Amino acid sequence: MTPRRTALALSGWLAFAATLLPQASAERIIPTVAFLVFAPGAACVGLYHRVDRGAAGDALEDLAFTVMLSLGSAALISEAMYLAHVFTLDRAFAALAALTTLAALCPGPGRPVSRIRRIHPEETPRP
């Protein structure tokens, strides 16, 4: 687990804690909007492993995909809660924070589950 993924996993809960601050204060608005726009998408983008990293448009493409996934997931969670008649800001924010935490902690394809090196039968050392 890298420090970046750990920070991404905790970002939702820190932004959720910021909702306890006074309304319309910059200390509340900045972290919550930054989380809603970037964090869920960044966690989901981190799930997939791209082989062709390093091309010129990759950073901009990943940023656009991150924002799209973040806003889309926020809209889907909010609408599902509205349709179930259980929507509150706290519940929607907690659901997004949980989604972000799970996506950030989940090892995506191409990431090793553990650092244990598997030895194949043909690679076993001979005595």
pLDDT of the residue at 61: 83
Classify residue 47: in a domain, yes or no: yes
Report whether 34 contacts 15 (CB < 8 A).
yes
Give pLDDT tens digits for 98-108: 999 999 888 76
Classify residue 123: in a domain, yes or no: no
State the DSSP string of 77-106.
Answer: HHHHHHHTT---HHHHHHHHHHHHHHHHHS
The CA distance from 121 to 119, in Å, is: 7
- Local confidence band at 51 (pLDDT 50, 70, 90 cut-offs): very low
Answer yes or no: pTM beyond 0.85: no
Domain count, the chain: 1
Residue type, 65: F
Classify residue 115: in a domain, yes or no: no
Classify residue 119: in a domain, yes or no: no
For the chain, give the mean pLDDT: 83
Classify residue 82: in a domain, yes or no: yes
The CA distance from 102 to 83, in Å, is: 24
Classify residue 127: in a domain, yes or no: no
Classify residue 126: in a domain, yes or no: no
pLDDT of the residue at 4: 85
CB neighbourhood size of 93 (10 A): 22
Confidence check: pLDDT of 120 > 60 = no
Expressed as residue numbers, the domain containing 23 is 3-110
DSSP state of 50: -
pLDDT of the residue at 46: 78
